Structure 1
Amino acid sequence: MTADVAAILLQDGIANGAIYILLATALVLVFTVTRVIFVPQGDLVAFTALTLSAFDTGVMPGTVWILLFGAAIAFALEMLDASARRDRARVARSIVQFGIVPLAVALVAAVLVPKDAPLLWKMAVTCALITCISPVIYRIVFQPIASASPLVLLIAAIATHLGLNSIGLHVFGAEGVRTQGFSGPPFSVAGQIVSQQVVGVIGSSVVLVLVLYVFFHRSLRGRALLAAAYNRRGAEIVGISAVSAGRTAFIVAGFVGAASGLLVGPMTTLYYDSGFILGLKGFVGAIVGGLAIYPLAAAGALLVGTVEAFASFWASAYRDIIVFMLIIPILFWRSVVNPHVEDGIE
């Protein structure tokens, strides 16, 4: 391997790692707030690319029907619960959250996105669709069993992933897509050729991470979400709703998944079931941080992207296996550093 080849692989690894950082951040956030390992996070990424591709071909994406059908179920559940509790304020919030907003986004996607619309407009509408789907998933699947054990929540997440796969096959078909990306001639940095796509992906990822940082540390809702992530019981004691925190966490996860799909779509061909592998790679990065520490999760995501790039060169057939095997030494190291203590045994 020459230095030039290594530099190219390192570029690809950093670009992939930048996307995995976003996925790892979303997975850590959802887990710390709701104890849900959000397996369908990768499905949102794949659905984003498939939705944008449908807009590019002038076809209304099946994501519109997924959103409308899911929002109708979530709205019915909210109305039943609010009526039983006689909570008029909740009725009003439900009408907005699961009625007006999803319907407005679906109408915009169905009517105001022609084939020749600007790419940025198509991306914005695609992002809105996917972001709206995520809290709908939370309301239907996870909110009713929020107090269940982590194992039950994991089983529900896997079932949701399988259900989304089936729905994706039905509404998008089995064909793969590759969306438009950052175009332009490559340029030289320190004697190395760098593509516009790599710079665009890394730059967009950095901007999104900064936006998330500002949201978490400067906004009231973001601080409430961090409080729920650090100590759910303490947050409930001071008046932070666990349901509201969970819904917000899923909204952020949906937005991050949509942004990740827009970034990864031009780099690889995505199918209706491609999200599972993407989500797992983000999960490996999150495991490095122990599903709790954001900087370490980001470092783990960069490690995953770099290892994946070099593994593609040395042993492309075993690329994914090599990436997933990173979990073994990490878990072994954590078991040595933080050994499990049985009750009454040290």
Structure 2
Amino acid sequence: MTTGRWLTAEGAALARQVLRRLADDGDLAGLALPVVEGRPDLRELPGGGLITGDARLAGLDLRRAWLFQALIEHTELTGCRLDGADLSGTVLAGGSVTGCSMTGAKANDLLIADGHWEGVDLTGARANHVTAERTTFVRCTFPRLAKAEFRACSFEECRFTGPVRDCQFLAAPRDVFRDEERAPGDRGAALREFAPGERGDAFRDVEFASDDLRDTEFHGMDFESVRFPESDRLIVIPRAFRAVARRADRRSASRTDEIGREFRRFLSSQSLQRPEKSETAGWAIDRRGLGDIAGFAAETLYVAQNELRAELVDSPPENVVGGP
């Protein structure tokens, strides 16, 4: 089957019927569609600009379909094949995507909002400028990403298979326990900040396969069993980056040259000036974006982290459950 089947008079009429059904409730019963591997054959369907709402699309073969700039709202996609489909500029909002394959899809400028994605394979997809908001991703496989933004999202048992460049993972803004709210000398407060907490914006059992995280930022996201490659290119603080940053800032005070000053400015921009940072959030960065301060930053942050870990082990506060 090729795109040509949709270009005949009969094929074009069938395509219009299919698109009307998809836009309604997704029920394709009664249409003269061939079946491929148990799925209605919608391969290469010309569906650019499709608009659906409150539909259920289940078990469809949409490989190489043209679905660019579609608006798919409050729709359940279950067990569909969208390998090689053109999803450029498509909006998926308020619904779910479960057990679907999107390998090799064109997903540039894809917008995902208020959704639940589970068991979705995006391996090899072209995914530049993807934006996702308030969405949970479970057991999803992500491709190489560039200029993507994930805001108020959570990731569970997911794998990022390629470089993640110039991307942002941002927690929702929230009230934080600020330095000035602490009583002077309240060492217990600093230690409590280094303890694990309950968070919604988090990576849980997530793997980053590549150490190429250039220009990527993690702000306010909890790291729970997050695996990065063993690499000197990365600096990873898996928990309580704000507390580590404050300790590193104090430790660096004796260094008054430009390296020390630039390092403190960097810490401020990454932590102290970020209201979305929770006290349990982790942090990671690619050293290649740090220039001359990379070596000093890695050493100072790891020393600060180890000091706080040792203090928490030696004198755990009463409200701490578990360790760093």
TM range (shorter): under 0.3
Larger Rg: 2
Q: Which structure shows the bigger proportion of residues in helix conformation?
A: 1
Q: Which structure shows the bigger proportion of residues in strand conformation?
A: 2
Q: Which has the higher contact order (CA 8 A, sep 6+)?
A: 1
* TM-score, normalization by structure 2: 0.23
* TM-score, normalization by structure 1: 0.22
